[in-house]
Amino acid sequence: MHDRYQRRRRDVSCGGRPIQVELEVRRFFCGDGSGPVATLAEQVDGLTAKHQRRTLGLRGLLERVALALAGNAGSRLARAMGQIVSRFALIRALPDPEAGQVTVLGVDDFAKRKGTSYATSLAIFSGAEPQAGAASKGTAGRVAGEAGRGRRARAEPRWVRAWCTDTIAGGARQALASSSHRS
């Protein structure tokens, strides 16, 4: 043990009044010289978790409220239960969905403004609902380069069954080709 410090955690209210738990926690430093110095803080089982300002009980309560109502309605219910929490905090309290395997991934670079900065759009097409996101500049090339590993310029990563880049341009070409065959 190398140090002690105070931690405060909000807990489930009692009788409509909010409760704050104050803990004195031990801090340990691990610096054996083989790597960077690591700081380890003591956790109380069943009460605290790393990087949390709420106890596990309150976190579970807010998660259940968020699953039932979320948003403004959930915030009003939590306030009636003695917990002042914003609608955004309730949305963040929702549990993360189970991460499945990505089977179809679309990667495309695009310009945010003409001639200035570039970004990469990532679209996951597997599952019931497609999901999309954006990454920083040059990600498509890095993903393709890492996937290739010297064999081909654009090889599929092992974890993706279908790999498509420049999806918008390719889709436009396919649409034009199919329309010219019909006439």
Average pLDDT of 148-164?
A: 48
- Tell me: pLDDT of 157 over 70: no
Per-residue pLDDT, averaged over 79-90, amounts to 90
- Is the overall model pTM greater than 0.85, yes or no? no
CA distance 139 to 71: 34
| CA gap 100, 105 in Å, rounded | 13
Q: What's the pLDDT at 150?
A: 41
Please state which of the ranges 6-15, 90-99, 166-175 shows the lowest mean pLDDT: 166-175
Q: What is the DSSP letter of 167?
A: H
pLDDT at 153 > cutoff 50: no
Which of 66-70, 121-125, 145-149 tops mean pLDDT? 66-70
Return the pLDDT at 128: 52
Strands across the sheet with 118-124, in order? Answer: 131-135, 118-124, 104-111, 162-165
Looking up tokens 């405060």 gives: 8
**At residue 12, does pLDDT exceed 50?**
yes
Mean pLDDT of 50-70: 88
Q: Contact at 8 Å (CB) between 105 and 123?
A: yes
Q: What is the pLDDT of residue 129?
A: 55
Q: What are the structural domain ranges in the chain?
A: 3-93, 104-182
Q: How far is CA 132 from CA 64, 73, 81, 104, 121, in A?
A: 27, 28, 37, 12, 7
